[in-house]
Amino acid sequence: MAAVNFVSFFLLAVMVSSALARGRLADCCRRIKHTLIHRDLLTKYYVQQPPSCSLRAVVFTTVQGKKICADPDKLWTRTSMAYLDEKRSHVPHPL
């Protein structure tokens, strides 16, 4: 009986960990990149922070769909976020 309980627990643990890997945890930045690209190549961003992810970061998306994990305290990151916010506020709304 103990073996059946152990196997059931083991299978449950494997299923939960694989579900987490496919979900939000797999999308978390694990380290900060020091890549600086031209702001015109950025399309959007979001802020990643604990407890959802272990690392506090700003995640930019490029026009090619690539993710860049940036340090939220760096000047380039803050000015790029402001640039995208300003760009988004000037988008004409469809009638």
- Tens of pLDDT, residues 14-58: 343 443 444 455 689 999 989 889 999 999 999 999 999 999 999
CA distance 47 to 86: 17
In whole angstroms, how far apart are CA 60 and each of 22, 26, 73?
Answer: 20, 16, 14
Q: Report how many domains make up the chain.
A: 1
Q: How far is CA 19 from CA 13, 22, 30, 31, 55, in A?
A: 10, 5, 18, 22, 20
CATH number, domain at 81? Answer: 2.40.50.40
User: Which residue range is the domain that position 74 belongs to?
Assistant: 29-89
Residue 6 lies in a domain: no
Contact 57, 73 (CB under 8 A): no
Tell me whether residue 1 is in a domain: no
* Residue 68 CB burial class (10 angstroms; 0-12, 13-18, ≥19): buried
pLDDT of residue 3: 58
Peptide bond into 51 cis (omega under 30): yes
* Domain membership flag for residue 11: no
Its pTM stands at 0.68
Q: Classify residue 46: in a domain, yes or no.
A: yes
